[in-house]
Amino acid sequence: MIRKTQAESIAPYLRDASNFTGGNAEEVVIPETSDELANFLKNETRPVTVAGAGTGLTASRIPAGGVIVSLERFNRIIEEAEGRVRVGPAVTVKELQGFLPGWLYPPNPTETLASLGGTLATNASGSRSYKYGVTRDYVEEVELLLVDGRKTLLKRGLKITEPLTFEDGSKIIFPDIAYQSPECKNAAGYFVHPGMDWLDLFIGSDGTLGIFTDIALRLIPRPHDFVSGILFFEEEDSCWELIPQIKSADRKRIDPCSLEYFDHNALKRLKSKHKNIPNRSRAALFFEQAVPEMKDYDLILEDWYEFLSAENITLDDSWFAQGPKDVQMFHDFRHDVPVIINEENSRAGRVKLGTDMAVPDKYFMAMMQFYRETLVASNLDYVMFGHLGDNHLHINLLAEDRDRAQKVYDQMVEQVLEWGGTVSAEHGIGKLKKKYFAKMVGSSGLKDLNKIKYCFDPENRLGTGNLL
């Protein structure tokens, strides 16, 4: 085990993509094996924070004292069976996607250098979640360590109705609580549903319940190709009104895996890298649909042409992929938005102030109209983009007057919660969104979730400062 105690050696572990400052730690430990880590934890009494790749946006990996555990040596990938791989938590999404050419890991967060351990901690998703779902849907098994060093193997199908048993013979019984997670896309706090698997509780737990040391993932056959396009609109409403039509379309023909939105402020920034964006555009929609076999490509593309024409969508200014280079360019188009925003924040020295909320389907149009009215009235600089198919948008407030921006953020949170939505649909809670999470679950919900935390970490040493 490597141990780092010098300030200059610890410093790189005190940062992440949130630009949050103020973290501190006495030591960084880098174990080689799960047994080595377990033995270390059995004799440790300080707070413990697990360090992922540093791509997180909510400061979850920023320690509040104590010791940092870095799993950077846990980086193996093994093909365990057809359509199943076993990975260490330090393996990145990019490394996994390139490992087996014939298979696809559907969750595709914008930051491909995110560690898979980190994506499990936040139940990450990405642009294809509209069809393929989120990280939780592809996790089959994990090796888990508690902060006291106890170890267990969590397998899909092991229900919370049965005690969770550890290697030393000890058991944990799921507490009797009333709280349940929201029904919309959600990555806020512990996942709780009656009769769920134990595994699901730990996915999205923000590094506060246990440490993943080994992960088995399910893959799907890689499609032959993707039909994709970017549609440009002169009016925002025209884009929004298309979404319910796409969702209600014949799934044998129109079955997108991605529906990604860009407002006029996003397009304005993207023009620095994509010069051919039509000048009249006030909104854009990126869509993508899997093509199972080569023979299907032209048929699916024709289906989209017919569908869009029937919806009176002008195609003259739209872009449709003509090959792999175009497909990559469209993905770059989508991924460039948060990159540009993060660069702006870094230059300005701003901690990211961005929403990650989602609402149930029936509130989609009300959500869009409310966001626009609220943001226009605020007179703040902002960018709105993201997962339109999941009713899950990212609004980044890029204002120097943080107090005023914070009030606007608070106003949006209040409305989303009134609609039964969530304050985080894919980034987690960490340290930056705790007050919104508390508002979301209420005092009784917090009591229930603290009961869960107490079962696994009664001294509140793991991921101190995150979530609760």
Reply yes or no on whether the pLDDT at 352 is more than 80: no
Q: Give the dihedral sign, CA 179/184/190/196.
A: positive
Residue type, 70: S
The residue written with tokens 């330090």 in the block is 90
Residues 356-369 have pLDDT tens digits of 999 999 999 999 99
* Nearest partner of 208 among 22, 442, 425, 454, judged by Cα: 454
End-to-end Cα separation, the chain, in angstroms? 31
Cβ neighbour number for residue 370 with a 10 Å cutoff: 17
CA atoms of 449 and 446, how far apart (whole Å): 5
Q: Give the dihedral sign, CA 177/181/182/187.
A: positive
Residues 63-122 have pLDDT tens digits of 999 999 999 999 999 999 999 999 999 999 999 999 998 999 999 887 889 999 999 999
Name, in order, each residue with C-beta under 8 angstroms of 165's C-beta and a sequence gap of 6 or more: 152, 171
Paired tokens of 363: 């509130």
Reply yes or no on whether the pLDDT at 19 is more than 90: no
Tell me how many degrees the CA angle 272-16-202 measures, rounded to the nearest 5: 120
Name, in order, each residue with C-beta under 8 angstroms of 138's C-beta and a sequence gap of 6 or more: 105, 106, 107, 217, 218, 219
Q: What is the pTM of this model?
A: 0.92
User: Does the domain at residues 2-69 carry the CATH identifier 3.30.465.10?
Assistant: no
| Ranges in the chain annotated CATH 3.30.465.10 | 74-221
- If you average pLDDT over residues 309-317, what whole number do you get? 90
CATH code reported for the domain at 74-221: 3.30.465.10
* Nearest partner of 364 among 326, 340, 332, 393, judged by Cα: 393
Lowest mean pLDDT among 54-58, 210-214, 323-327, 336-340: 323-327
CA atoms of 19 and 351, how far apart (whole Å): 5
Q: Give the dihedral sign, CA 109/115/120/122.
A: negative
Tell me how many degrees the CA angle 125-60-8 measures, rounded to the nearest 5: 125
**What pLDDT score was predicted for residue 322?**
80
| Ranges in the chain annotated CATH 3.40.462.10 | 225-418
Reply yes or no on whether the pLDDT at 247 is more than 80: yes
Paired tokens of 50: 């697990």
CA atoms of 440 and 414, how far apart (whole Å): 9
CB 356 within 8 A of CB 427: yes
| Ranges in the chain annotated CATH 3.30.43.10 | 2-69
Paired tokens of 339: 């990159």
Paired tokens of 389: 């198919």
Residues 161-205 have pLDDT tens digits of 999 999 999 999 999 999 999 989 999 999 999 999 999 999 999
**What pLDDT score was predicted for residue 326?**
86
Question: Across the chain, what does the average pLDDT equal?
Answer: 94
Q: What backbone phi and psi angles, to 5 degrees, belong to 343?
A: -65, -40
CATH code reported for the domain at 225-418: 3.40.462.10
**What pLDDT score was predicted for residue 146?**
98
